């Protein structure tokens, strides 16, 4: 999710996408998100939850389930796996760069879907920082124990 490679689809350029680009550039955030992704978490969902918390909004369990279902991670995972296989093959250098751009475009379209869902849902307001709670509930819903997995992400984001 590198901003210099960002695909500029006007319909995809929204507050959530801009927030994600800004947060992803913060020192330490990228590494933490990729580590969580390797454990099975979806980076776009994680960043969406960060955005919701930063805007003092909350999701109930049904809304969180619906948010998760907005992203079909299987296609993205397969594409990312293929891209990583060609990453270090010099003959595929140009193809790899194009694959990065395509992946970013797919992410931007997925964020557009997430944003569309979030702005049409009637979300609860939160008077306090609820990010840890949102992350823990997400972790439970996808059957990945949270424990202290989010501590470094929370520190990198500096809420």
Domain contains 141: yes
Using DSSP's 3-state secondary structure scheme, residue 1 falls into coil
For the segment 114-142, the average pLDDT, to the nearest whole number, is 89
- How far apart are alpha carbons 69 and 73 in whole angstroms? 9
Q: Residue 4's pLDDT band (boundaries 50, 70, 90)?
A: very low
For the segment 106-124, the average pLDDT, to the nearest whole number, is 91
Domain contains 2: no
54-58 own/partner pairs: CB under 8 Å, 24+ apart: 54/19, 54/159, 56/125, 56/126, 56/127, 57/123, 57/124, 57/125, 57/126, 58/123, 58/124, 58/125, 58/126, 58/130, 58/134
Domain contains 42: yes
pLDDT at 113: 92
The answer to whether 101 touches 88, Cβ cutoff 8 Å, is: no
Query: 45: domain range?
Result: 7-157
Domain contains 61: yes
What is the enclosing helix (H) or strand (E) of 23?
Answer: helix 15-24
Domain contains 119: yes
Task: Give the chain's domain count.
Answer: 1
Domain contains 18: yes
Domain contains 1: no
Query: pLDDT tens digits for 13-28?
Result: 899 999 999 999 999 9
The pTM of the full predicted model, rounded to 2 decimals, is 0.85
Examine the pLDDT at 3 and tell me if it is beyond 90: no
DSSP per position, 99-139:
HHHHHHHHHHHHHHHHHHHHHHS-PEE-SS--HHHHHHHHH
Residue whose tokens read 């439970």: 140
């Amino acid at each position: 999710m590198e901003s210099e490679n960002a695909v500029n689809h006007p319909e995809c350029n929204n507050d959530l996408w801009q927030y994600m680009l800004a947060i992803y550039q913060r020192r330490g955030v990228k590494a933490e998100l990729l580590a969580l992704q390797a454990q099975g978490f979806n980076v776009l969902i994680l960043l969406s939850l960060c955005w919701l918390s930063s805007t003092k909004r909350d999701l109930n369990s049904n809304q969180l389930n619906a948010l998760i279902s907005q992203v079909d991670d299987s296609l993205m995972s397969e594409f990312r796996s293929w891209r990583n296989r060609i990453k270090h093959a010099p003959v595929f250098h140009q193809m790899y760069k194009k694959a990065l751009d395509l992946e970013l475009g797919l992410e931007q379209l997925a964020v557009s879907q997430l944003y569309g869902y979030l702005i049409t849902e009637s979300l609860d307001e939160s008077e306090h920082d609820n990010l840890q709670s949102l992350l823990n509930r997400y972790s439970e819903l996808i059957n990945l124990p949270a424990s202290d997995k989010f501590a470094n992400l929370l520190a990198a984001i500096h809420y």
